[in-house]
């Protein structure tokens, strides 16, 4: 069996699980029944042992997060499913909601039960009409079958899930901005602590997890922590859904066990570049991720190894640029995106992005000098270090990584580009 064929946690080839009866006939909801019959503390232990980490970007241990909500004295608790999926180039949560809705709902119900939450909100990206309607219908079906609502499977546990539509803001995927937007306030990030697990929706303890994270839970509860750990590596158990796009032969969603290399992802899963072309750069993690050169593709998809190599896995988008692409155009597009999405609350992000945009435009027009490039790096580093939230902290990742790996492309566009990029400073 090739790596591409093996379906592990997600059945990404088979789209038939929108049918509840079929899902149940293949073992679906068996994990929920098992969890409802067991001691919740044991189930939380299994999740912690499995080593599942959040797939929304921050990779926080999921079992620990559930335990934090569960141990709160406050009895009114919420679960929020983050389906905002705003990261450009990412489409895994859309796929899960459209094709595997009951796997998600089963995972949500288990997580809610373990955290002691009886109200859930599915926060869906504004543009996701089809996923929203599949989820609405699936929630209704699950309710009719006694798998949601009052007294689930006769256990005494009840959970209601309602849908909430985002309004098209990338920033509202950030958990505190998301909470503000549900509460009817401006979708802006808030100071942490308190964390949502302590004081979340309406000030109550709230479990916020990504769609992919929650959809991992049924298989872990069904097959156990050891099975899950056998899929990935010691550092990063399990698998990751990768949204693969750009200048490659096969684009789409693939499920990749942690430990596979980015070379496997680009060349085996993605089929490599189109005939006659070469891979020039690969963007990992979406607009807020980094650009790496072909020579770095042997780095494994693994949280620790990626962190050491300066790569952020983020939401798992992998976008390939072939040798016809301009790095500066790519970086400039991202800066424009973040400038559009920045809420303007803090100066480093608001002004840093504005200055970066001006410099990128000058560079592309051939009007920049080397001093502009040095300033671009300086502003970006301030933005990374001093911004209030993750948007500003990550917005410059493509700038810094491309300056590092493709510095000559910046220099060649400068009027005085013969000089060493850091000549003045390093002298």
Ligand X SMILES: Cc1cc2nc3c(=O)[nH]c(=O)nc-3n(C[C@H](O)[C@H](O)[C@H](O)COP(=O)(O)O)c2cc1C
Q: Distance (Å, rounded) from C-alpha 222 to C-alpha 34?
A: 8
Site map 369..408 versus ligand X, x via CB under 6 A: --------------------xxx-----------------
Q: Among residues 51, 57, 116, 187, which is the contact residue for ligand X, using CB under 6 A? A: 57
Long-range contact pairs involving 352-355 (C-beta distance under 8 Å, separation at least 24): 352/379, 352/380, 352/382, 352/383, 352/387, 352/392, 352/395, 352/396, 353/383, 353/392, 353/395, 355/379
Q: How far apart are the first and last CA of the chain?
A: 56
Inter-CA distances, 191 with 176, 264, 337, 416, Å: 8, 40, 24, 44
Q: Among residues 56, 187, 259, 352, which is the contact residue for ligand X, using CB under 6 A? A: 56
Site map 13..52 versus ligand X, x via CB under 6 A: ----------------------------------------
Residues 6 or more apart whose CB falls under 8 angstroms from that of 43 comprise 35, 110, 114, 221
What tokens appear for 106 in the block?
């089963």
- Which of these ranges, 78-86, 324-332, 383-391, 398-406, lies near ligand SF4 under the rule CB under 6 A? 383-391
Q: Among residues 55, 132, 334, 413, which is the contact residue for ligand X, using CB under 6 A? A: 55
Q: Distance (Å, rounded) from C-alpha 196 to C-alpha 52?
A: 19
Site map 64..103 versus ligand X, x via CB under 6 A: ------------------x-xxx-----------------
Name which of ligand SF4, ligand X, none residue 60 binds, using a CB cut-off of 5 to 8 Å depending on partner kind: ligand X
Inter-CA distances, 249 with 98, 271, 278, 320, 414, Å: 24, 5, 12, 10, 34
Q: How many residues form the binding site for ligand X (CB under 6 A)?
A: 21
Q: Among residues 6, 58, 140, 307, which is the contact residue for ligand X, using CB under 6 A? A: 58
Residue 210 near ligand X by CB under 6 A = yes
Q: Among residues 24, 136, 325, 350, which is the contact residue for ligand SF4, using CB under 6 A? A: 350
Q: What is the CA radius of gyration of the chain?
A: 22
CB of 39 within 8 A of CB of 226? no
- Which of these ranges, 17-25, 180-188, 206-214, 322-330, lies near ligand X under the rule CB under 6 A? 206-214
Q: Among residues 391, 394, 399, 414, which is the contact residue for ligand SF4, using CB under 6 A? A: 391
What is the binding site for ligand X (CB under 6 A)? 54-58, 60, 82, 84-86, 171, 173-175, 208-210, 213, 389-391
């Amino acid at each position: 069996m090739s790596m591409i064929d093996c379906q592990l946690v997600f059945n990404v080839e088979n789209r038939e699980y929108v049918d509840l009866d079929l899902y149940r006939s293949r073992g679906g909801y068996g994990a929920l029944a098992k969890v409802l019959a067991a001691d919740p503390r044991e189930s939380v232990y299994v999740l912690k042992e499995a080593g599942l980490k959040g797939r929304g970007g921050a990779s926080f241990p999921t079992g620990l997060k559930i335990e934090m909500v569960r141990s709160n004295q406050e009895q009114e608790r919420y679960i929020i499913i983050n389906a905002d999926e705003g990261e450009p180039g990412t489409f895994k949560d859309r796929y899960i909601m459209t094709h595997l809705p009951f796997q998600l709902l089963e995972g949500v119900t288990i997580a809610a039960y373990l955290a002691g939450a009886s109200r859930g909100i599915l926060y869906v990206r504004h543009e996701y009409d089809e996923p929203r309607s599949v989820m609405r219908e699936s929630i209704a079906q699950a309710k009719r079958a006694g798998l949601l609502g009052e007294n689930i499977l006769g256990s005494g546990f009840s959970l209601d899930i309602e849908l909430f539509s985002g309004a098209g803001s990338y920033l509202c995927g950030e958990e505190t901005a998301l909470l503000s937007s549900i509460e009817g306030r401006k979708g802006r990030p808030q100071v942490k602590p308190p964390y949502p697990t302590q004081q979340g929706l309406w000030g109550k303890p709230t479990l916020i997890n990504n769609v992919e994270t929650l959809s991992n839970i049924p298989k872990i509860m069904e097959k156990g922590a050891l099975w899950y750990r056998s899929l990935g590596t010691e550092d990063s158990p399990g698998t990751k859904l990768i949204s693969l796009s750009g200048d490659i032969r096969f684009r789409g969603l693939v499920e990749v066990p942690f430990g596979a290399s980015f070379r496997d992802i680009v060349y085996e899963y993605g089929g490599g570049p189109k005939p006659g072309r070469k891979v020039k750069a690969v963007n990992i993690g979406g607009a807020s991720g980094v650009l790496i050169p072909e020579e770095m593709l042997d780095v494994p998809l693994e949280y620790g190894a990626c962190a050491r190599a300066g790569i952020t896995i983020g939401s798992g988008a992998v976008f390939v640029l072939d040798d016809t692409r301009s790095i500066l155009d790519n970086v400039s597009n991202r800066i424009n995106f973040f400038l559009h999405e920045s809420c303007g609350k803090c100066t480093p992000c608001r002004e840093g992005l504005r200055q970066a945009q001006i410099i990128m435009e000058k560079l592309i027009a051939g009007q920049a000098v080397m001093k502009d490039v040095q300033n671009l790096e300086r502003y970006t580093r301030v933005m990374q270090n001093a911004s209030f939230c993750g948007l500003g902290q990550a917005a410059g990742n493509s700038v810094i990584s491309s300056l590092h790996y493709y510095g000559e492309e910046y220099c060649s566009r400068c009027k005085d580009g013969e000089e060493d990029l850091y000549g003045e400073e390093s002298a």
